[in-house]
Structure 1
Amino acid sequence: MTVALVPEVDLSAVVAEQPDPLVFATVSGAHLYGFPSRDSDVDLRGVHLLPVEGLIGLREPEETRSRMWDRDGVEMDLVTHDLRKFVRLMLRRNGYVLEQLLSPLVAHTSEAHAGLVSLAPHVLTAHHAHHYRGFAATQWRLFEKSEELKPLLYTFRALLTGIHLMRAGEVQAHLPTLVGEVAEAPAYVPELIAAKETAEHGPAEVDLARVRRDVEALHGVLDAAQAASGLGDAPGAHDALHDFVVRTRLERTPRTARTS
């Protein structure tokens, strides 16, 4: 397991407790973004694989499972989607699920996970900029209301991820890395990251006028990066992902059940 940022929790045990096999489970949220606090919760995200009868019977399938609880003194937030639903989300302009899929903080992986990762570049489009633009706007409104550091960092993270994606065709969610990759990133962002280490909901001690100008400028940079992006207008992996979902589901279904 490559997750070293949350040593207080045995994530492999959490994975083993799930009712259906997991294709993958990764850590998202502040740990992935590079600015966890001492009291940050652990956002575990992944894909579960329902049996065929769970999809074709009369009962509504559990396509999404969500649970929050305290484990070993750490707040856990677990969300998994069935493979079919997750792939459908991938085919939309949903950067969030791609960040989960491509997260380097891996609690559980599989051959199917690797296969899904290999298809991820083919679903990237210039329209993913809308996801990051919208997410940044939502976090900015939260910042204006609360003046807390967390939503401000989320604002910068979303804008810089979007800019980098439009330019490099790569999903990069780690804010300290993005500061080095995106030339227009404000020079004071590392100081904000360091300040968040002590408290999850601490105030943002910043020049509000300056921060507002910088956020507005980054929106303009994102707009320009989208206009100049070499990414296409539509995902190009629909058929390949369809085949992948069918193949993965059948491989997990006992042969006797398929031939009876």
Structure 2
Amino acid sequence: MTPSIAATVQDPRLQRITTAQPYPLLFATISGAHLYGFPSPDSDVDLRGAHVLPLRQVLGLDARHETVEDSRIIEGLEMDIVSHDVKKFFNLLLKKNGYVLEQLYSPLIVQTTPEHAELKEIAKGCITRHHSHHYLGFVHTQWELFLKESPHRVKPLLYVYRVLLTGIWMMRTGEVEANLVTLNETFRLPYVDDLIARKLAGPEQGTLDDADLAFHQSEFERLRAMLQAAHEASTLRELPEDAARSGINDLLIRVRLAQGI
């Protein structure tokens, strides 16, 4: 963890912001550029988590506040906050949704509970070979965003490589790793470190020459094909384990009842 990221996680303002959320949190972690390993000094803080709605509220006709979102400057920090009620979050875990896996397993933990640790153990049985479809779809969108801009910026290109390598790694290992710096210790793509350095250097270094485009187009297609091949060769399960679904259901009941009316 770089010093800047460590400082972000330990910032007392972030602890206060988390404590002030409208519902008790099962966990809160940091996602986005800080998690991916290439935050700029002006990067906002992407706080993600799962909250527990009161029992009375979820038993009523209208289930409100299943998702809580807040995007603004709080105590001088540019915050982007998204949390889902535990039932919604748990249901997303049972689908091929890479976002919630990355949030759950983010090592940048702002708030945790014993139930968070329990959920991380259970959710290992939710990772399937079909999570590759999440990353294949996501990277297509990121590549289109990269191409649409002129001049072409380094930031969306880094997101492209982050998504591809995360997907390949998951298909090969069954593990969640969203940090591009860590991933590149295995993949050893020489241009990745250069791109990260250019993004961190500031806006004037954050664009690419047209001459670079053909190379990155080729690498995008090569790595996308590698992700597809990793999916086809993967020995991961086809569906979440029955034990994982049962464990998540039991955990949901317990955390809901513990919250009370």
TM-score normalized with structure 2 length: 0.91
1:57 corresponds in structure 2 to 60
Q: Which of 172, 191, 207 is 1:203 aligned to?
A: 207
Tell me the secondary structure at the aligned position of residue 6 of structure 2. Answer: coil
1:240 corresponds in structure 2 to 247
CA contact (8 A) 1:91 1:123 kept: yes
1:17 corresponds in structure 2 to 20
Q: Could you give the per-residue CA deviations for residues 202-222 of structure 1, whole angstroms, max 9, x where no partner exists?
A: 323461000000010001111
CA contact (8 A) 1:32 1:174 kept: yes
2:136 aligned with 1:129:
no
Q: Could you give the per-residue CA deviations for residues 144-187 of structure 1, whole angstroms, max 9, x where no partner exists?
A: 011111110000000000000000110000001111123xx531
Q: Which runs of 5+ in 1 are unaligned?
A: none
Distance 1:134 1:198 in 2: 30
2:216 aligned with 1:224:
no
Distance 1:200 1:27 in 2: 23
1:252 corresponds in structure 2 to 259
Return closer, same or farther for 1:136/1:200 CA change in 2, 3 Å cut-off: farther
1:159 corresponds in structure 2 to 164
2:32 aligned with 1:29:
yes
- Taking only the aligned residue pairs, the percentage that are identical comes to 47
Q: Which runs of 5+ in 2 are unaligned?
A: none
CA contact (8 A) 1:40 1:200 kept: no
Cα deviation for residue 8 of structure 1 reads 5.9
TM-score normalized with structure 1 length: 0.92
Larger displacement relative to structure 2 (205-214 or 37-46): 205-214
Cα deviation for residue 198 of structure 1 reads 3.1
Amino acid at match of 1:135: F
Q: Which of 141, 150, 154 is 2:155 aligned to?
A: 150
Q: How does 1:176-187 map to 2 (within 5 A)?
A: 176-182=181-187, 186-187=189-190
Return closer, same or farther for 1:67/1:200 CA change in 2, 3 Å cut-off: farther
Name the one with the larger helix percent. 2
Return closer, same or farther for 1:12/1:200 CA change in 2, 3 Å cut-off: farther
Q: How does 1:74-113 map to 2 (within 5 A)?
A: 74-113=77-116
Distance 1:158 1:200 in 2: 22
Q: Could you give the per-residue CA deviations for residues 114-141 of structure 1, whole angstroms, max 9, x where no partner exists?
A: 1111112100000000111111110100
Distance 1:200 1:28 in 2: 22
CA contact (8 A) 2:44 2:78 kept: yes
Distance 1:198 1:204 in 2: 14
Cα deviation for residue 229 of structure 1 reads 0.7
Distance 1:116 1:27 in 2: 17
Amino acid at match of 1:69: R
1:117 corresponds in structure 2 to 120
2:173 aligned with 1:171:
no
Return closer, same or farther for 1:213/1:31 CA change in 2, 3 Å cut-off: same
Give RMSD over aligned pairs.
1.8
Tell me the secondary structure at the aligned position of residue 188 of structure 1. Answer: helix
Q: Could you give the per-residue CA deviations for residues 24-82 of structure 1, whole angstroms, max 9, x where no partner exists?
A: 00000000000001111000000110011110113332100000111243310000000
Distance 1:18 1:73 in 2: 17
